[in-house]
Each structure stands twice: as structure tokens, then as C-alpha cells.
Amino acid sequence: MNTEQRFWNPVLETMPLEKIRELQLKKFRKIFDWAYNHSKFHRSLYDKAGIKPGDIRSMDDIRHVPKVEKSMMRDIQRKDPFPYGDALCVPLEEVVEFRQTSGTTGQPVYQPDTWQDWDWWAESWAFILWAQGYRPSDRVFIPFGYNIFVAFWAGHYAAEKLGCEVVPGGVLDTKARILKIQELQATAMMATPTYVLGMADTARDKLDIDPSSLTIDKITCAGEPGASIPTTKKRMEEAWGAKVYDHAGATEIGAWSFECTEQSGGLHVNEALFLVEIEDTETGEIIEEPGKRGKMIITALDRQAMPCVRFDSKDIIEWSPEPCPCGRTFRILKGGVVGRSDDITKVKGVLLSPSAIEEVVRGIEGLSDEFEVIVDKVGDVDRITLKIELQPDAVSQQESVQRQLVDQLRLKTNLGYKLEFHDYGTLPRYDVKAKRFRDLRKNH
Ligand SMILES: [Zn+2]
């Protein structure tokens, strides 16, 4: 491996856009045929829509292929072949990996992978890590529970594939992980934004260690959108004295995107391995032009055991008008994943996205990293309560913090809030993915 090389796969990452489209069409036809011929679930879905292998001749034809929803995958699982159901395209004997989704709502979806799929997971993560400056000289610490969720397992194997030295921080507690990073002089780590901020607090409050004095110089985030929210990214980078990079992926899709070292304000879609379409949520049309938001419909072009073909991910995204200065031709999603279509809710008739509140809270000095948003009704009127904490050294500034909060929230979200200040350390702390937004109106 030439460590001076800028790209993990120079041919694919700099391919002209029209060549990428040709490659995507060719691969889409192949995965569609594979799903049609090997899974009863897909065949019956496509037969009902009157689409057969051979019918897809252009990118436009792809738009007529029915979408798959997560609820459909939930419905078929725990049936034959157990436990995956009839979307499984290979004999059970070929399945070597079990994972399940970590979503905060509903029954998790089971995900099988073959050894070839597992190799594909590591390869797609290798694009990510190389683009974020990981090289064989890195010592990568992974503070992750190594459990039934896929996230950092694939990052672990990809780091090994690159030639990095990998330290699995499995069952250690947070304090022990920080001390191990210090002892081994680790240079990189991978974690959720919530955990990156939580580790920094633990280092300072419990160990009297300034995390920026440690040797970590790059952090790969996944699992939550924080690393693409400028104010949250800034908090993480300042706390650790490190570059923080975003990645969005999903168990049932794969590792489909990455931020590169240029930090150009978005995520590259790995267009050699995935096809991303943006669907207008009102009209159902596919959006090609930059700057217009819609939800992501995604196809994993090479995944075999349980294919992901036109999966309705519910992620809200938009194309950036600018190519990235890094030289990759893979298109950029401006601001990363900017929301979830199930999270974006109407309050008092105004669309509210939880990440807009996060951006405001994390941008105000004197507030801790924790917050909680609760939407409920008083009589017929919607109410949003925002619970925040002041840093211990900012208690005397409550009035000015409150004023900034009210102004910024009004400016960024067009809504008024009931503010509740809590003592530092009293709001719930989360280890991995935080659940900071609750809409109690949905229970009625
Ligand atoms: Zn780039």
C-alpha cells in the first residue's frame, strides 16, 4: 500500500460522473436480477408491480422499481428461513454474521451477511477511513461494546485492512478506556458524538485529564448526525484537540457515506458501491437538482445475503451544488443527513427538526452538552419544553444564556419554547445513542 496515495480506490473515486452512472446502472440491473431470482419476497413485490429482469434499461426505469420499507422487513422476519424470512437470497449455511438494527423505535430488524458481504462491509469502511486520513502508522482505539450492532465492527476490520494497529476497547468502562488511550498513545478513535462528548466530560471530571492533551488526532463519528452539526462538531474538536469526521451508515444498508479531510460541509456518497436517489416527499418525484430536500431511497449495489434495493431510509438529505475540493467525483450531501422524515414533526403548524435545536444548544457557551426536548399539548395548544444544564462555572450567567437561547431558537426554528434550567449533571447521560427528543402528542 502506497501511504502517500490520496484515495483508497483512485479509479472509482475520481471516475467521471457519466461513467459512475453507467457503472451504477450495470450494478443495479445485476442486484435486481439477483433479488428477483433468489428471494420470494422480492419476486412477489416486483411481480405485483409488473417489473421483471430485463425491464430496466435506463436510470429512469429504476424509478419504477417498488421501494422497500423497514416495516416490510419486520413483517417477514422470524419466518422461514428462520429468523430472516424469505428476503434471504442465500442458503442459511452461507450466512456467517448476525446483526440487528439499533433504531430507537419498534422491533429491531435482523440482518444476515455472508463472508463476501462481510468483506464488502470492511471494504466500504476502508474508503471512509482512508478519506479521513487513517494510515498504517495509526493506532486506532475503538471504545465500542462489540455487541449485536454492526457499526464499529466493520470499522475495526477496515482499520486492520488499511494496516492500522487496532485496539478493541470492548468491555472496559469509560475511565479505563481513557487511561488506555493515554497509556498506548492512540492516535484515532471511532464513536457516537454522544459518547465522544461524554468521554471528554469523564476525562475532565473524574480523571482530571484534559482530553486535548491526549494523542488522539482524528475521530470518526457514526450513529447520530452530530459530526455534521457545526456547533456539535466544534465542541468535539475543541474538547479533544482532534479533527472530527462524520459517517452515516445503517445496518440494513451498509456504510454508504463519509466526510473527507477537506471537511467541506457534507458527506460524500460512495457512489461506486451505492445508488442514492432523493425523493420529493410531497410529489414522489426524484430530485436531481442541488439544494432541494427530500428523503433518501438507497440501493446497496453489491450486497447479497439480504439485498437492499430501493430502500426507503427516511433520511432527509439534499445534494450540494459544489464538488468537493478533495478531487473525488462522488457527490456531496450538503450538511450530511439533516433529519429523519419520522422525526420532523409539525409543532404549532411549523416544521421542527430536532437537529436544529441541537445546533442552537451546542452553539451557546455556558451550556453543557446535554439537553432534552419534549413536545406535548396544553389544552389544544402545542408546547415545546427544552431542558438544559448550565456548566458549573456559568451559573451566574443564566440570564444572558437564556436571552441568547430564546433569540437563537426563534431565529433558527421560528418557535417559542418553555425553558427549564437543570443543575449540572442531572439530565440523563447516554452511553451510545442519545434519545433527546420526545413527542408525547403521539401517544394520544
Ligand atoms: Zn471530499
Asked if residue 138 and residue 37 are part of one domain, the reply reads yes
How far, in Å, from the CA of 291 to the mean position of ligand 1? 18
Banded pLDDT at 78 (limits 50, 70, 90): confident
How far, in Å, from the CA of 231 to the mean position of ligand 1? 20
How far, in Å, from the CA of 415 to the mean position of ligand 1? 35
- Write down the pLDDT at residue 444: 47
How far, in Å, from the CA of 217 to the mean position of ligand 1? 19
**pLDDT tens digits, one per residue of 374-406:** 999 998 889 999 999 999 999 999 999 999 999
Average pLDDT over residues 395-420: 93
Average pLDDT over residues 44-51: 97
CA distance 207 to 230: 28
Asked if residue 189 and residue 51 are part of one domain, the reply reads yes
How far, in Å, from the CA of 260 to the mean position of ligand 1? 5
- Write down the pLDDT at residue 257: 98
Asked if residue 375 and residue 335 are part of one domain, the reply reads no
**pLDDT tens digits, one per residue of 160-173:** 999 999 999 998 99
Q: Are 145 and 170 in contact (CB under 8 A)?
A: yes
Q: Domain end: 319, 341, 363, which one?
A: 341
Instruction: Count Cβ atoms below 10 Å from residue 73 Cβ, excluding itself.
Output: 22
How far, in Å, from the CA of 191 to the mean position of ligand 1? 21
How far, in Å, from the CA of 113 to the mean position of ligand 1? 29
Per-residue CA distances from 180 to 205, 273, 384, 434 (Å): 17, 35, 42, 25
Asked if residue 334 and residue 401 are part of one domain, the reply reads no
Asked if residue 425 and residue 397 are part of one domain, the reply reads yes
Asked if residue 353 and residue 219 are part of one domain, the reply reads no
Asked if residue 230 and residue 217 are part of one domain, the reply reads yes
Query: Number of folded domains in the chain?
Result: 2
Q: Domain end: 291, 323, 341, which one?
A: 341
> Residues near 176 by Cβ (< 8 Å), separated by ≥ 6?
none
CA distance 264 to 259: 8
Domain that holds residue 267: 1-341
Average pLDDT over residues 346-351: 85
Asked if residue 41 and residue 22 are part of one domain, the reply reads yes
Average pLDDT over residues 309-313: 97
How far, in Å, from the CA of 245 to the mean position of ligand 1? 11
Helix axes 151-162, 115-131, angle to 10 degrees: 70
**Is the link from the previous residue into 83 a cis peptide, with omega within 30 of 0?**
yes
- Write down the pLDDT at residue 443: 57
Q: Is the pLDDT of residue 293 over 70?
A: yes
CATH number, domain with residue 211: 3.40.50.12780
Asked if residue 375 and residue 280 are part of one domain, the reply reads no
As given in the structure block, the three cell numbers for residue 309 are: 434495493
What are the DSSP calls for 307-327, one per residue? ---SEEEEEEE-B-SSPPTT-
Q: Is the pLDDT of residue 427 over 80?
A: yes
What are the DSSP calls for 68-81, one per residue? B-HHHHHHHTTSSS
Asked if residue 349 and residue 430 are part of one domain, the reply reads yes
How far, in Å, from the CA of 26 to the mean position of ligand 1? 25
Instruction: Count Cβ atoms below 10 Å from residue 379 Cβ, excluding itself.
Output: 5
Asked if residue 333 and residue 360 are part of one domain, the reply reads no
Instruction: Count Cβ atoms below 10 Å from residue 342 Cβ, excluding itself.
Output: 11
> Residues near 337 by Cβ (< 8 Å), separated by ≥ 6?
225, 228, 248, 267, 296, 315, 316, 317
As given in the structure block, the three cell numbers for residue 193 are: 458524538
Quote the mean pLDDT of the chain. Answer: 94
Q: Is the pLDDT of residue 48 over 80?
A: yes
427-244-152-268 Cα dihedral, nearest 10 degrees: 120
- Write down the pLDDT at residue 103: 65
CA distance 156 to 189: 10
Residue 409: φ, ψ to 5°: -65, -40
CA distance 154 to 124: 9
Q: Domain end: 286, 319, 341, which one?
A: 341
CATH number, domain with residue 415: 3.30.300.30
Asked if residue 119 and residue 64 are part of one domain, the reply reads yes
How far, in Å, from the CA of 258 to the mean position of ligand 1? 9
| 3-state secondary structure labels for all residues of 123-157 | HHHHHHHHHCCCCCCCEEEECCCCCCCCHHHHHHH
- Closest Cα to residue 336, out of 271, 267, 419, 389? 267
**pLDDT tens digits, one per residue of 222-244:** 988 899 999 999 999 999 999 99
How far, in Å, from the CA of 326 to the mean position of ligand 1? 4
- Write down the pLDDT at residue 404: 94
Q: Which residue in the block uniquely carries the three cell numbers 442552537?
A: 360
Least reliable range by pLDDT among 102-111, 129-138, 152-161, 256-265: 102-111
Q: Are 308 and 324 in contact (CB under 8 A)?
A: no
- Write down the pLDDT at residue 113: 97
How far, in Å, from the CA of 228 to the mean position of ligand 1? 14
How far, in Å, from the CA of 165 to the mean position of ligand 1? 25
Per-residue CA distances from 144 to 55, 156, 196, 331, 431 (Å): 44, 10, 11, 30, 10
- Write down the pLDDT at residue 441: 87
How far, in Å, from the CA of 225 to the mean position of ligand 1? 18
Give the total residue count for the chain: 444
Longest dimension (CA), the chain: 70
